[in-house]
Amino acid sequence: MATVKDYSVEEKLTALVTLQKIESKLDEIRILKGELPMEVSDLEDEIAGLNARQTRIEEEINGVKEFIEQKKTAIKDAEALIKRYEKQSENVKNSREFEAINKEIEMQQLEMKLAEKHIRDANEEIAEKAISLERAKKNVAAKENVLNGKKEELEKIVATTDKEEKALNKLSAEAREKVEPRLLVSYDRIRQNYRNGLGVVAVHRDACGGCFNAIPPQKQSEIRQRKKIIICENCGRILVDAD
């Protein structure tokens, strides 16, 4: 049966310190990148939204143009009917038939006027939508310029840090395997609580290296002995001696 090595407290602390050093270097790279990855992602989402709006406006303009063509066809149909009714009026037999034809002609004339009004309104709508479309295109172009600048800036940082970051990520994974799972959970939780990502800190000038709260001499002595895990009572970080 395989035996599991029981690491001493000093070995556990050494593994944690090694992990903290590696991940602090990774944090430095992330700080160097800053908000750029998030800004790039947000800009890409925003541009996708603007492009969708642009497409929607173009589809609406096409829809209005189709509507105009339908109304133009309706006018042509009305004109053809009027000509037919006028020809029929030449052969009417009585005043009753004449009045009926005149009513049909008037009805078609009204249809033409209504269609012409619809065309005028539709052309005004197209003009308004064209302004919105031009504005949307300008917004997309402006955002794309900003995005290209951000991407270029990010690519330069990635080019100089990518190799180091990959190596550090590999070292981090290896270091994590050497840390006791329960201790690793605590370490990750502590790191998440602080913006500087420090879960393990050394005692400097009789104070916690994380929150600078004073550490009593007796506690410092216990930390130097490395026989048990000592936590800062103020900030909860894991304390180690400077050596």
Cβ partners under 8 Å of residue 214, min gap 6: 206, 207
For residue 35, pLDDT beyond 90: no
Percentage of the chain surpassing pLDDT 70?
Answer: 98
Calculate the CA 137 to chain-centre distance: 20
pTM: 0.57
Give the per-residue pLDDT at 1: 39
Helix 95-177 and helix 9-33, axial crossing angle in degrees, nearest 10? 140
Q: What is the per-residue pLDDT across 96-132, written as a single tens digit (0 to 9) for each?
A: 888 898 999 999 999 999 999 999 999 999 999 999 9
Alpha-helical (H) ranges within 178-243 are 181-193, 217-225
Q: How many CB atoms lie within 10 A of CB 179?
A: 20
Total length of the chain: 243
**CB 108 within 8 Å of CB 82:** yes
**Predicted confidence band of residue 5 (pLDDT cuts 50, 70, 90):** low
For residue 50, pLDDT beyond 60: yes
Q: What is the per-residue pLDDT across 158-201, written as a single tens digit (0 to 9) for each?
A: 888 888 888 998 999 988 888 888 888 889 898 888 888 888 99
